[in-house]
Structure 1
Amino acid sequence: MSRRDRTVALITLSLLQVFTLAAASAVVNLTPPQADDPRPPSVAGRALVQPAPALPALGDLAQPPSASALAARLADLAKDAKPRISAVVVDVDTGRVLFDRDAQRPSIPASTTKLVTSVAALSALGPGHRITTKVVQGGDGGIVLVGGGDPTLTARTSAYGAYPRYASLDDLARQTAAALTKAGVRQVRVDYDTSLYVGPGTATGWKRNYLPDGEVAPMSALTVDEGRTEDGGRVEDPASDAAEKFARLLDRAGVNAKAGRRTVAPKDAPALGAVQSPPVSALVEHLMTVSDNDVAEALIRQVAIKRKQPASFDGGARAVMAEMRRLNLEQGIEVHDGSGLSTRNRITPLALARLASLAASDAHPELRPALTGMPVAGFTGTLAAPRYTGETAAGAGTVRAKTGTLSGVSTLAGVVQDARGRLLAFAFMLGDGEGPVEPRRLDRLAAAVAACC
């Protein structure tokens, strides 16, 4: 695909994602807002949009902006107001750095860490990979619900309207009930297996309030509806909650069932039913659009499993960094979780911009969902209006970026089409975890790049 074609295709993708909002009312949102980023209802259940054929040239002869002209626009916006901004702008086609302000200074990335997670997952697993939840025959006459780490597994029948479809616990119960009934079994105990995940339930650098405040669920290989309660909180034991809900669904399907105990399924036990998650491409688009912490933590564990590491925070971080090395992107990246909640994570602006550039490049089309999942400024996800209105309106519809927000930290990384149609990657990072920050300062920078040059 030529530079012109890619630019046009990305513009088309942005417009199609915006138009999809009009039909999003039928899409189920399984992940209500979390505290990391304020966000509107998810539109991640939409059909995956494929690049359209090239349209008449919008940027066919576009040249990159001059570094001096770009610096003139950005220097005043990034100057020495405190906290200090670190920033970089890179031409996607050539890799040339057009603007550099402490671009190699490691900073707390907050949720822009999810760009690292997404690229690693797409690279290691492939965009078509799906996560399986299954039920097998137990060793003592019971059955075992085996968690595979699917963060979208749902007990809600309303999820049938989502596309790509979420894995349904009700579907799994119906399959299991049919198999049990065929075998003449009318009563059963539901044990559950969470042995896929190991290690502590929280990451290095997580604050103590994250779990009580519901910003993320306790880590478990078996979780239904992200462990959420009706009042928006989280259950203390997601796996036990899943087993209880599954037993009730089995009852409804005609098999008398009760929840049992935690166990490890017998090796090579006969399967009674199985359901699969949406493809990794859809999971990545979802987590990037709405900044879903639970999906991000699930994906680093899937990367760990793929790369023969323990499915834990440490194992996931090692596997992600190994994938970054394989892509020659490890410089300037240190991660301790997949979501960016850890205050111990450190990433440079240049590393984030290089990740965004790679996701937009022809060389790695498998990484494209990390780009197409980024919120569209002024329209979707964590960049929806009122962001990119008024003084930053130049960025509306042309900036596509992942946000990051923690106490005393604001970050923004993605791509933007400049005024001539040139595709540029950028990363702007503000704050060190101390004192107030103003995300709009970063929006002004992105809008200035969009209006350049």
Structure 2
Amino acid sequence: MKKALWVSSSVGALVVVSSVIGAGIWVNSSGFGLNHPPAQTAEMPAPLFSSAIDPAATEVPDFDALAEQLNAKATDSRLGTFVGIARDVESGEVVWQHNPEVAVRPASATKILTAAMALYQLGANDTITTDVVAGDEAGTVVIKAAGDVTISQEQLDDLGQQLAGQNISKVLIDTSIWPDAAFAETWDPVDIDAGYITSVEPAMIEGGRLGGAEGDLPRSHTPALDVAQAVADRVGATEVGTGTTSNQEVLASITSDTLVERLARMMKDSDNVMAEGLAKEVAAKQGKATDSASTAQMTLEILQQHGFDLTGVSIVDNSGLSFDNLITPQLLDDILTRAATEAELKPLLISLPIAHGTGTLEDRYEGLSGAGWVRAKTGTLTDTSALAGVVTSQSGRVFTFAFVSNESAILPAREALDEMASVLRDY
């Protein structure tokens, strides 16, 4: 499933176009409606831009009525301890806020920070090439793990075909590119079998999932060795293990999707392994420590270098799985606003799930006006629910927002957050 969203400022006119292929949704600021269900296929046209705001309008509208509605929603008991912010992208004006400078537990909304950091450091077209090289011993090959945590069965088949006929008896995998701890101290090992995380190693089959390519399937406890075993099975080798080689002769190779494609997948399923893998990829390229706590600090340093206010912010991983992360709604919204106005971060918005259409928002927004118009990153942990994204209003304004609820029951809080985002849509 592919999707695209453009939000940019150009000569005073904000531009928004959103498309989903295969999900039955076509939304743009000219007034195309929501068609869901039934599913249909819509081809993305040549670059299409339509003004979301009257170019002749020179005055910022009065947002007082909108703020009153959001204030009323913010007092909803379903939200527990609640903080948030909403901003008009065209003017840059904060239209509503409630303790936006207070750092709270963000859950997977943390991935917004990770995505921005990766785009700044790697660029949208970044890919990862995994080579298989000749070993030091006859009959041995070594997989040079390079950071691809999404190796597919089809790619493994490709490696097997490239290596066919080379009389291979042993397959080793070299994971030395990420030498530091692969499993964070703040994660619960129970979550491996629950399907949320595993040891994040520099070569993994579909994030270490067992029995499928997506979703919260149980994860392997030996993900890198699984890659070696999968290659061995395809070439008839009888031994697998870890190891290195001084040989540089490349016998086979595969290349990952681009960063844009990987971000879309990471956000769609809120994939913790992919988020941690992105941070480790950046750290390894910079010669920095690759454990999760160190890469989290690296993420903050990079964001600070790009001018973001990190007051009160503290994270210990890049996925949001840790309960020790603290992020302000202000920072989340600052990043989203930057993504809505600067080309470098634009793919971040493209990656966000669509309300009642895709990913973690597919089953939400039933009967709400935000369906098909809200694009947002979700966040869920015990007593924690977050929603941060972008929405085009009925009047043509584009708003970014970041809402975070702590000390609240998950399902009721989600409903309240979706209703708040729909208030922005109704403006």
Match of 2:225 among 240, 250, 253: 240
C-alpha distance in 2 between matches for 1:384 and 1:122 = 25
The total of aligned residue pairs comes to: 396
Partner of 1:71: 67
> Does the 8 Å CA contact 1:301/1:315 hold for their aligned counterparts?
no
Aligned in 2, Cα 1:47/1:221: closer, same or farther, shift over 3 Å?
farther
The answer as to 2:331 corresponding to 1:351 is: yes
Match of 1:222 among 187, 194, 203: 203
Q: Which amino acid aligns with 1:205?
A: T
Partner of 2:145: 147
Q: Deviations over 1:316-341 (max 9, x none)?
A: 11321122012112414322112110
Partner of 1:109: 106
Greater strand proportion? 2
Aligned in 2, Cα 1:152/1:443: closer, same or farther, shift over 3 Å?
same
The answer as to 2:176 corresponding to 1:195 is: yes
The offset of 1:201, in angstroms, is 3.0
> Does the 8 Å CA contact 1:377/1:396 hold for their aligned counterparts?
yes
C-alpha distance in 2 between matches for 1:347 and 1:360 = 20
> Does the 8 Å CA contact 2:149/2:207 hold for their aligned counterparts?
yes
Larger deviation, residues 372-381 vs 63-72? 63-72
Give the 5 Å matches for 1:245-256.
Answer: 245-251=230-236
Give the 5 Å matches for 1:22-421.
Answer: 52-55=47-50, 57-61=51-55, 64-79=60-75, 81=77, 83-141=80-138, 142-155=140-153, 157=154, 168-177=155-164, 181=165, 185-230=166-211, 232-251=217-236, 257-266=237-246, 269-332=248-311, 333-361=313-341, 364-385=342-363, 387-390=364-367, 393-421=368-396
Q: Which amino acid aligns with 1:374?
A: L
For structure 2, which runs of at least 5 residues remain unmatched after alignment?
1-7, 26-40
For structure 1, which runs of at least 5 residues remain unmatched after alignment?
24-45, 158-167, 252-256
C-alpha distance in 2 between matches for 1:323 and 1:383 = 29
C-alpha distance in 2 between matches for 1:435 and 1:290 = 18
C-alpha distance in 2 between matches for 1:236 and 1:47 = 41
C-alpha distance in 2 between matches for 1:374 and 1:151 = 20
C-alpha distance in 2 between matches for 1:117 and 1:102 = 23
Aligned in 2, Cα 1:413/1:225: closer, same or farther, shift over 3 Å?
same
C-alpha distance in 2 between matches for 1:100 and 1:236 = 43
Larger deviation, residues 257-266 vs 276-285? 257-266
Given the two structures, how large is their TM-score scaled by the length of structure 1? 0.81
> Does the 8 Å CA contact 2:168/2:235 hold for their aligned counterparts?
no
Greater helix proportion? 1
Match of 1:20 among 22, 31, 50: 22
Q: Which amino acid aligns with 1:339?
A: S
Identity %: 31
C-alpha distance in 1 between matches for 2:328 and 2:168 = 57
Q: Which amino acid aligns with 2:83?
A: S
C-alpha distance in 1 between matches for 2:231 and 2:280 = 24
C-alpha distance in 2 between matches for 1:107 and 1:367 = 24
Given the two structures, how large is their TM-score scaled by the length of structure 2? 0.86
Q: Which amino acid aligns with 2:88?
A: D
